[in-house]
Amino acid sequence: MTVKAPEINARRHQPMSNTKLLMLIAIGIFVVMYAAAMLLIGKRFLNLQEIFNLLNNNAYLIILGCALTIVMIGGGIDISVGGVVCLTAMSVAKFLQTSGIEGVPGVLLSMLLALGIGLLFGLEQGFLVSYLGIQPFIVTLAGMFLSRGITTMISSENVPIKHEAFLEMKKVAIQIPGVFKLEIGAAFALIILLLMYLLLRHHKLGRSIYALGGNQQSALMLGINVKRSRFLSYVISSVLAALAGYVFIMHASSGKTSIGLRSEMDAIASAIIGGTLLTGGVGNVFGTFFGVMILSTIQEIMAASKVQESYWQEIASGAMLALFILMQSVVLSRRGKKFVLPSWMKMSKRQ
């Protein structure tokens, strides 16, 4: 079947979607920020391994960002993910310490334990939000308190991991000696990132989540099962949070009650900086990935500049988040028309 020239030209002149535009802005800011760090701070940021260190240190946050992106695209929110990360990490650490199951079977059972925790939280929260119609903030707030409380009940002290097979798995890495080293947890996070992108962009469920976040009534008219789509988005979010907890403990090698503290806020900030709208319908996990990289680069720049006070990192992160919310407001104002400033930015005309 041949495509006529006017149809090809029409495709070429289609305006860039808000999702793609916001993601490109995030990528551009990350590139500019990292280039400025190379010029101003110097040698440390010129090393290729520094980028891989950002991945290694923030692998769990990349997975967590994917979880929040999926829920937020569907018009929801999940603030329980940090608690699920903490509960998973502590449960796995305690299991490996006390089960007495050595070797590969112990590692496999610890993975199943992590998936089970994520699945249980996802099923419970997804059901309450989707089928009982309870506000997601309330449901996931309760989930956050529940997971943190169970974590403290399991152990209020640090639980180091001495399981030989687990520690051997932790040492696995993709590397070229003297050039770069990518930990297995970071590699796993990148695989999750790709899978979630394919799910959102090329699977029926992903398209349903976009439609749900864009306009629920229109989604119903299109024959989309709104309740099931929202339910599955929360299940996926909790399972990803559990996987993030497992990746975290692979990097840290110990469980403690402070794991994942405020990580849900970092994940939400990363998603917003990457172009995901809190109102739903717009977002991309690759944008969230660059949101994570931007926040972690800010932290590294502060550390390299020998800024010891943690509040400066929070101020910088807050300023970056406010900047992206401003950009999103401008982008949304030009949907389907020429560039126009949002109404609140326009100067009032003199009478």
Share the mean pLDDT of the chain.
Answer: 85
Residue, of 77 and 306, whose pLDDT is higher: 77
Which phi and psi angles does 21 have, rounded to 5°?
-65, -45
Determine the Cα–Cα distance for residues 153 and 14; give it in Å rounded to an integer: 56
For residue 54, what are its two tokens?
A: 């950002």
Q: What is the pLDDT of residue 343?
A: 54
Number of H helices, E strands in the chain: 16, 4
Amino acid code (one letter) for 351:
Q
- The confidence band for 146, taking pLDDT boundaries of 50, 70 and 90, is very high
Highest mean pLDDT (candidates 233-237, 260-264, 292-296, 346-350):
233-237
Give the angle 104-184-29 at the CA atoms, nearest 5°.
Answer: 155
Q: Where are the alpha helices (DSSP H) in the chain?
A: 5-12, 18-40, 43-46, 48-57, 59-73, 81-98, 103-130, 136-154, 164-171, 184-202, 204-214, 216-221, 226-252, 263-273, 285-304, 310-333
Determine the Cα–Cα distance for residues 131 and 227; give it in Å rounded to an integer: 6
Residue 12 has pLDDT above 70, yes or no: no
Residue, of 296 and 43, whose pLDDT is higher: 296
Nearest of 117, 130, 153, 157 to residue 245 by alpha carbon: 117
- The confidence band for 160, taking pLDDT boundaries of 50, 70 and 90, is confident
- pLDDT, tens digit (0-9, with 9 covering 90-100), for 115-143: 999 999 999 999 999 999 999 999 999 99
- The confidence band for 308, taking pLDDT boundaries of 50, 70 and 90, is low
- pLDDT, tens digit (0-9, with 9 covering 90-100), for 339-349: 444 454 454 54
Q: What is the pLDDT of residue 314?
A: 80
Rounded to two decimals, what is the model's pTM?
0.88
Q: What is the pLDDT of residue 322?
A: 84
Residue 203 has pLDDT above 50, yes or no: yes
Instruction: Calculate mean pLDDT across residues 23-45.
Output: 83
Decide if 122 contacts 238 (C-beta within 8 A).
Answer: yes
Share of the chain above pLDDT 70, in %: 89
* pLDDT-wise least confident of 172-181, 265-274, 324-333: 324-333
Domains of the chain: 54-321 (1.10.3470)
CA 179 to chain centre: 27
Q: What is the pLDDT of residue 332?
A: 67
- Beta bridge partner(s), residue 173: 183
- The confidence band for 334, taking pLDDT boundaries of 50, 70 and 90, is low
Reported residue count of the chain is: 351
- CA Rg value for the chain: 22
Residue with tokens 């010129």: 46
Residue 91 has pLDDT above 90, yes or no: yes
Determine the Cα–Cα distance for residues 145 and 84; give it in Å rounded to an integer: 10
